[in-house]
Amino acid sequence: MISSPLHITLLQSALYWENPTANLNQFSEQLQKLPAGAEVVVLPEMFSTGFSMQPQKMAETMEGPTVAWMRTTAQKKRIILAGSVMIAEGENFFNRFIWMQPNGVCYQYDKRHLFAYAGEDKHYTAGDKRVIVSVKGWKILLQICYDLRFPVWARQSTMNEPEYDVILYVANWPERRSLAWKTLLQARAIENQSYVIGVNRVGEDGNGIAHSGDSRIIDPMGQILFENSQTPMMYSHHLDETLLQETRQKLPFLKDADAFQLLNFSA
């Protein structure tokens, strides 16, 4: 049961290409300006490297410096720190969403839908299960970038009691397809009667691809509560549990949804 509003902070930033040290330094500096009461802080997809297809050169293990930085920062700031990192496990590489809690416990989601258009499927291994985390009674579905194009993967699959209250997307979504990003974020909110948060990067990456950010917070009716394009920014917002509950009670559309079951996929 949700107990109170959730204070969530979005960090929309440019990223240094394949330079974890520079990226961790810049985020450390930005996090010095966190507002009082910050609870969950969200960084973009592959926030330490940019969307690189060089995991053989850049990937770290879960014991590496980037995850260690997340753990230390979360403990020091007393926040949950979230974002995706390229991770090596044996001979496999994953685009992994890490949800790092201040007590050092971390949850992880491996990106299911790999962006074949950029060759991500040739360098990374796909995940095979959804991950829903919980904080203060809020249930949050973790998703990464290209997952946004696949509505079944995010769909509420129970009709009587919603599985989650927020869908959280981290991304390196290019500016030239920003219309799809903005439209699909709203669609996921409306069809699942949940808050949707999308945190994207800005600036040009090492392949010359421009990113406009367009980070957004959208309410369960599809109304845009916040959006920002082009410029780096930090923005904090309190998610209102009353709006969420009233929307679902007054408009119980999920109860009329088609029953279905998501099966585990072999990676």
The pLDDT score that the predictor gives to residue 62 is: 98
The answer to the question of residue 103 being in a domain is yes
The answer to the question of residue 266 being in a domain is no
The answer to the question of residue 172 being in a domain is yes
Do residues 8 and 195 touch, judged by C-beta distance below 8 A? no
The answer to the question of residue 264 being in a domain is no
The residues facing 7 across adjacent strands are 238
Give the end-to-end CA distance of the chain in Å, rounded to a whole number: 33
The pLDDT score that the predictor gives to residue 264 is: 64
Q: What are phi and psi of 16, to 5 degrees?
A: -75, 130
Give just the sign of the alpha carbon dihedral 105, 136, 36, 144. positive
Domain extent for 241: 6-256
Do residues 23 and 48 touch, judged by C-beta distance below 8 A? yes
Local confidence band at 136 (pLDDT 50, 70, 90 cut-offs): very high
Do residues 95 and 45 touch, judged by C-beta distance below 8 A? yes
Compute the average pLDDT of residues 124-142: 97
The answer to the question of residue 49 being in a domain is yes
- Tens digit of pLDDT for each residue in 74-111? 999 999 999 999 999 999 999 999 999 999 999 999 99
CATH number at residue 231: 3.60.110.10
Reply yes or no on whether the pLDDT at 181 is more than 50. Answer: yes
The count of structural domains within the chain is 1
- The catalytic residues are 45, 111, 145
Helices (H), ranges, the chain = 20-31, 55-58, 65-77, 120-123, 151-154, 178-192, 241-250
